[in-house]
Structure 1
Amino acid sequence: MNLPTPHPLLAASAGSLSGVVVLDLSRVLAGPYAASLLADLGATVIKVENPADPDVSRGFPPYLRDGEEEFSGYYGQYNRGKLGLALDLANEQGKAVLKDLVAGADLLVENFRPGTMAKLGLSYETLAAINPRLVYLAISGYGQTGSRSRRPAFDNTAQAAGGIWSMNGYPGEAPVRVGVTIGDLSASLFGVIGALAALRHAEATGEGQLVDVAQVDSIIAMTETAVVDYTVEGKVASPQGNAHAWVRPYELFPCADGQVFFGAYTDKLWRAACELFGTPEAADDPELDTMRKRFDPEVYERRVKPLVVAWFADRTRAELERLAGDVIPLTAVRDIGEVVEEPGTAEREMVVEADYGPLGVLRMFGQPIKLSATPATPARTANRMGEHADIVLAGLAGYDAERIAVLRADGVI
């Protein structure tokens, strides 16, 4: 197939994924964030939405506002740097358009319930027949296979079914969900890893593949030692509050103006802490002089924890960080406002800005992956609904203006 000459907006960028074309059919978070990461890293990502039923996250708060016009900051953060195409995939013409786009794409991302794309006649097998090198990333609650695959799922589904919810909270109390959508976000990250591995294989062999990532699987893989604790010792993980299951000291401690995390649990770090806080004799105390002794719950509660509490009680977070932060793991517990305004956050470019004109400037989190030769470009606006239809259809599918006009008149785009 002779592909059209790409429109400049579809041409290779300066990023490390320069030249990779991604069709993002996903909604809300797990899929959109995965596609957003690829866009930050240089891929050309085309956000495909149903014109009658767009991504519901366009209605999520917070909002940039200009009079009656508003734009979701949530949507902006997770869809930055993408081109926008409205396309009705329930329409036969819409299906045909997507197939034409797939012919020139490298990767497709979707997070529908398994079976949805097949019902539309757009399964991986159908699209792979059109483009054998296509990498197809499918993110779902329970995965594409297994007896639970057709169940509906949200982030909390993954937290519940994957075990992490049962482990979070305080001892003796009801479990507490993790305060961010870790089921979605972990699936995004595993999805990107899988997609990049599959892209490398496709580039080497011309063979694409299905990348199947489940939120529940992703959560299970985030449970640290809980699985082996159970399989080796029969121990079922339970809420530990701010403490670690067995590493001590390694938790939250109060100070004069808030809380700090303190984690000087190794012998070397413990000795350094004892010196810094004026109790060097505690490092050589025969009851406290080894890590294994300090790990003992009874010794910890009776001797270690009271000592640490006394060290911190009359000092502020800033004083503690100045005294010990460069030597031992001691960090102030900051709220998100403090994090955003922290100079170190700016130094790492972890808050970036996108200018939405009259609506204002959206400040959002940046890109944590720092590449020295091909830096990411996260400081970009998100697409308006169907904003780049002409560019995408002409530049990737080779449609002329007349054909695009017919599709628009028919309500396909």
Structure 2
Amino acid sequence: MPHPDRERRGSSGRLTAGETPSPLRSGQARDHHWRLILHGALGDIVVLDLSRALAGPHAAQMLGDLGARVIKVEHPAGGDESRSWGPPFVGPENDISTYFLAANRNKQSITVDLKSTEGKALIERLVRQSDVLIENFRTGVLDRLGFPVERLHELNPRLVILSITGFGHDGPEGGRPGYDQIAQGEAGLMSLTGPSADEPYRVGASIADLLGGIHGAYGVVAALYERERTGRGKVVRTSLLAAVTGVHSYHGTAWTVGGQVPVAGGNHHASIAPYGAFHCADGMIQIAAANDALWRKVAALLNIDPDIPKYAINRERFAHRDELIADMERTLTKHDRAHWLAALAEAGVPAGAIRSIDEVYAWEQTRSQGLLVEVDHPVLGTVELPGPPLRFDGEPPVRHGAPPALGQHNDEILAWLEDRER
């Protein structure tokens, strides 16, 4: 694909070589492209997405999946930095980031220089016509750009503002920049992940960013619901620190109530046994015997006496977990994974394979749940993307919009804005 700074949009709506995209050009409204999911719960909501990278864009994408019109504001020189994150890259010029594709479906892209006078004026116009603004700048940056909360609510008292930071907007370290892996470490998640307490691991997915986006999106929906009663918007704040700490769950209460510091336990549960990954003759499977009745079924399959004192109840099984694993694997390693998964399924014991990513997307169960969606990308053509995790009974299948090229919707958004302002 040609570099976006040397492109313009042809009559087809695709980018063609010849002109730098301008955020101040007008054109005919082509609203059909972004009314694909109007039937969604948020079909009358406009989201102004000033965020970049992953946490904020993920929140905006979730709102777009629910039908909101999401206007992604990007700098003309390169746009969202995740456009350059890879490998892998795809496309004729091998310059389209699959990372960017993961967090920007159902959005329109407009290029704006937030530091310029005309850019600030355009943002003011967009703020007046929006229901939600999402930003994940470092604390104070939006203020310095001339858009503190007070100014945003002067422009639009009904505006809901989602602000996602690394470590919170205030407090002794509120101004720190936040990236996913740093937050995983600072928020304790790495201490819970890995083979042992001596080898902390990051979670393979950018879980702090993704959880921050999820928390932010549900905060926005709550604020929109409250706005129906009050008529006014409010600020929703979350952070990568809050997102990870917010899912400590029983690990948190182990310390706050129980006085114990949880540590990494590899592929086995921190409180339940047997519950984890076990070796078979040709690899590993997972078994989750979350109560004594399930344990008895597992024991019967593996010829273990379930009533001996060290295995009779979960407290004792956990205390003797290493012995229990060894006893189980002595039998499990005599047969392959397919044998044991079939036997466990017949016995009614929760168990499963450990799939690679390609296997997950080839799995018919994944596809049956709408977890893959087809979009028509302006350069790549028809491609499949990971789909939204929610489905609503009684609604027709959703047609999703492809992640946009940089500045792809400049004309369309400006025409829409002019229509709204009449």
Q: TM-score, normalised by structure 1?
A: 0.88
Q: How many angstroms apart in 2 are the aligned matches of 1:260 and 1:63?
A: 33
Deviation (angstroms), 1:172: 4.8
Output one character per residue of 1:260-306: Cα deviation in whole Å (capped at 9) or x when no partner.
1111141111122233x163x623445433333323x23x333x323
Unaligned runs of 5+ in 2: 1-28
Going from structure 1 to structure 2, the CA distance change for 1:157 and 1:397 (only over 3 Å counts) comes to: farther
- Are positions 1:385 and 2:394 aligned together? no
Q: How many angstroms apart in 2 are the aligned matches of 1:159 and 1:317?
A: 33
Going from structure 1 to structure 2, the CA distance change for 1:212 and 1:376 (only over 3 Å counts) comes to: farther
Deviation (angstroms), 1:69: 5.8
Partner of 1:161: 186
Contact 1:367 1:376 in 2 (8 A): no
Q: How many angstroms apart in 2 are the aligned matches of 1:162 and 1:26?
A: 22
Secondary structure of the corresponding residue to residue 277 of structure 2: strand
**Residue type of the alignment partner of 2:90:** L
Going from structure 1 to structure 2, the CA distance change for 1:353 and 1:64 (only over 3 Å counts) comes to: farther
Residue in structure 2 matching 1:21, options 46, 50, 65: 46
Residue in structure 2 matching 1:232, options 247, 254, 257: 257
- Are positions 1:329 and 2:367 aligned together? no
Going from structure 1 to structure 2, the CA distance change for 1:173 and 1:287 (only over 3 Å counts) comes to: closer
Output one character per residue of 1:147-173: Cα deviation in whole Å (capped at 9) or x when no partner.
211111111121121111122212252
Partner of 1:262: 287
Going from structure 1 to structure 2, the CA distance change for 1:343 and 1:311 (only over 3 Å counts) comes to: farther
Contact 1:156 1:177 in 2 (8 A): yes
Partner of 1:408: none
Secondary structure of the corresponding residue to residue 237 of structure 2: strand
Partner of 1:63: 89
Contact 1:366 1:378 in 2 (8 A): no
Q: How many angstroms apart in 2 are the aligned matches of 1:381 and 1:14?
A: 18
Partner of 2:16: none
Contact 2:162 2:216 in 1 (8 A): yes
Secondary structure of the corresponding residue to residue 285 of structure 2: strand
Deviation (angstroms), 1:47: 0.6
Contact 1:24 1:48 in 2 (8 A): yes
Partner of 1:44: 69
Contact 1:85 1:385 in 2 (8 A): yes
Secondary structure of the corresponding residue to residue 149 of structure 1: coil
- Are positions 1:152 and 2:173 aligned together? no
Contact 1:370 1:376 in 2 (8 A): no
Deviation (angstroms), 1:8: 4.4
For 1:66-77, list aligned pairs within 5 A. Answer: 66=92, 68=93, 70-77=95-102
Partner of 1:97: 122
Contact 1:41 1:377 in 2 (8 A): no
- Are positions 1:222 and 2:247 aligned together? yes
- Are positions 1:305 and 2:325 aligned together? yes
- Are positions 1:282 and 2:305 aligned together? yes
Partner of 1:362: 383
Contact 1:266 1:291 in 2 (8 A): yes
**Residue type of the alignment partner of 2:338:** A
Contact 1:184 1:215 in 2 (8 A): yes
Q: How many angstroms apart in 2 are the aligned matches of 1:287 and 1:176?
A: 31
Q: How many angstroms apart in 1 are the aligned matches of 2:416 and 2:202?
A: 45
For 1:92-131, list aligned pairs within 5 A. Answer: 92-131=117-156
For 1:178-193, list aligned pairs within 5 A. Answer: 178-193=203-218
Output one character per residue of 1:21-74: Cα deviation in whole Å (capped at 9) or x when no partner.
0001110100001101111111110111111241011112322222x3632222
Residue in structure 1 matching 2:238, options 201, 207, 213: 213
Partner of 2:314: 291
Deviation (angstroms), 1:109: 0.6
Larger deviation, residues 231-240 vs 134-143: 231-240
Q: How many angstroms apart in 2 are the aligned matches of 1:309 and 1:89?
A: 60
Deviation (angstroms), 1:388: 1.1
Q: How many angstroms apart in 2 are the aligned matches of 1:26 and 1:315?
A: 51
Residue in structure 2 matching 1:194, options 194, 205, 219: 219
Secondary structure of the corresponding residue to residue 325 of structure 1: helix
State the identity %: 35
Counting matched residue pairs gives 390
Contact 1:6 1:396 in 2 (8 A): no
Unaligned runs of 5+ in 1: 401-413
**Residue type of the alignment partner of 1:78:** A
**Residue type of the alignment partner of 1:75:** F
Q: How many angstroms apart in 1 are the aligned matches of 2:63 and 2:399?
A: 10
Secondary structure of the corresponding residue to residue 179 of structure 1: coil
RMSD: 2.2
Partner of 1:339: 360
- Are positions 1:320 and 2:340 aligned together? yes
Deviation (angstroms), 1:246: 2.6
Q: TM-score, normalised by structure 2?
A: 0.86
